[in-house]
Amino acid sequence: MTVRRCAAALAAATAVLGGAAPAAFADGTPSPAAVPPGLYGTKDPQYDGVFRQSLAFLAQEKANVKPAEQAVTWLTGQQCADGSFMSFRADTTKACDATKLDTNATSAAVQALVAVGGHTDAVKKGITWLKSVQQDDGGWPYTPGMGGSDANSTGIVIGALAAAGEKPADVKSAKGGKSPFDALLTFALPCDDPAGAGAFAFQPDPKTQKLYANADATAAAVTGALGKGLTATAGQADTKGTACEKAATPEQAAHNGAAYLAKTLAPTGFLKSAMPGATDQPDFGNTADAVVALAADGMAQQAKASADWLSKNATAWAKDNGPAAYAQLVFAADATGADPKNFGGTNLIQSLNATGPAPQAAPSSAPAAESKEKKNDGISVWWIVGVCLVAGIGVGFLISGRKKNQQL
């Protein structure tokens, strides 16, 4: 998911600059930022602080783990006055930078605060802001005012709307009356496309308006088209196989996208990297997103096969990349019925908890031995482009997959 956010920024930068990276990051070394108390992870939070915190909370909720008050306070303190979130605010006493407001971070935070509970006002403010920046086509861009709507951002906003109790189909643009589902359908490739039948594009090519298949955008769009969020669970069995059908509804487009993912994953079990400059290697984060999308659509067989591949190969990647990576694996495990506390021999929940402040102790009447065991278990566009180029494929939206070249 961090790949998703990185590629989103890269795509936006490419659209504006015609393929050139911002000069501020020409040497590939973004300025570091200190990790504040209460935040999960040890890496520079400048580009993904809100997103990785949000994913951590969502993963903990799957295991009935309640995050520390300090961690929750950190996240709520990141919210801007208008209800939006930036990727990270180093100084929360200063007003938010309007050029760095982030639909992906806001959507992830909304979903996380719903999961934590008790933050109705913050959730309402976040949803109000998201509605205020909906574009005429019914979708959302990564950063409002910088580029057109994209499949990834639109998909994650749908998840936030659904988590907050909204009906995404009823959230329509002020001009044109388009819903998020209307926007997603415009990114769906037709069944007669020779290279990506049924897939979704990140955005139309800015010059030709042609759609190019993008596996990461497809994963985000499938869950979005089904009206589900980052922690989507298994849906009813999809009995249509991997045949592509003309998509007139979001559900049909979701099926086609899932079919594309299933066929793409079948030979190896994983998606390959498409980040700029990356070698041809597995993309663990996007594979985890694809597992959730497949499970949500009801393609359980391929979802489980790829989840099994992740359980054998992805835990070292998660250890290196921290809380959001662990969270993505938790989502994949949960969606396919696997045990996140024994995923390839790794207790993902325990490992995630260890990256931040100790969670609140859950009340329990269990015997002392069992209680002890449970306690042990507890044991942007320009500003994000630089870290994406540095991180390459090593990261798995965090934070809310975009590609520098939309044809990839």
Per-residue pLDDT, 16: 37
Position 14: which residue type? T
- The answer to whether 140 and 157 are in contact (CB under 8 A) is yes
Alpha-carbon distance 348 to 200, whole Å?
A: 30
Alpha-carbon distance 299 to 72, whole Å?
A: 35
Per-residue pLDDT, 273: 84
pLDDT tens, residue by residue, 89-137: 999 999 999 999 999 999 999 999 999 999 999 999 999 999 999 999 9
Q: At what angle do helices 2-17 and 215-225 cross, to 10 degrees?
A: 110
Per-residue pLDDT, 27: 33
Please choose, from the candidates 126, 115, 36, 124, the residue with its C-alpha nearest in 3D space to the C-alpha of residue 80. Answer: 126
**Residues forming a β-bridge with 346:** 343
Q: At what angle do helices 284-297 and 215-225 cross, to 10 degrees?
A: 30
Alpha-carbon distance 4 to 292, whole Å?
A: 14
For the chain, the farthest-separated pair of C-alpha atoms sits apart, in whole angstroms, at 66
Note the pTM of the prediction, 2 decimals.
0.84
Per-residue pLDDT, 373: 39
Residues 6+ apart with CB under 8 A from 265: 271, 287, 290, 294, 302, 305, 306
Per-residue pLDDT, 292: 98
Per-residue pLDDT, 196: 96
Per-residue pLDDT, 130: 98
Q: What is the DSSP code string of 209-231?
A: ------HHHHHHHHHHHTT--TT
Per-residue pLDDT, 275: 65
Question: Which 8-state DSSP code applies to residue 164?
Answer: T
Helix (H) or strand (E) holding 370: helix 368-378
Alpha-carbon distance 68 to 117, whole Å?
A: 13
- The answer to whether 9 and 142 are in contact (CB under 8 A) is yes
Please choose, from the candidates 259, 349, 262, the residue with its C-alpha nearest in 3D space to the C-alpha of residue 305. Answer: 262
- Phi, psi torsion values for 78, nearest 5 degrees: -80, -15
Per-residue pLDDT, 33: 60
pLDDT tens, residue by residue, 348-359: 999 999 999 999
pLDDT tens, residue by residue, 161-195: 999 999 999 999 999 999 999 999 999 999 999 99
Q: Which residues of the chain have pLDDT under 70?
A: 1-33, 274-278, 362-408
Whole-angstrom distance between the N-terminal and C-terminal Cα of the chain?
Answer: 17
CA–CA distance from 281 to each of 79, 99, 274, 278 (Å)?
Answer: 37, 34, 9, 8
Block residue for tokens 């009906």: 167
Q: How many CA atoms lie within 13 A of 7 on its CB side?
A: 37
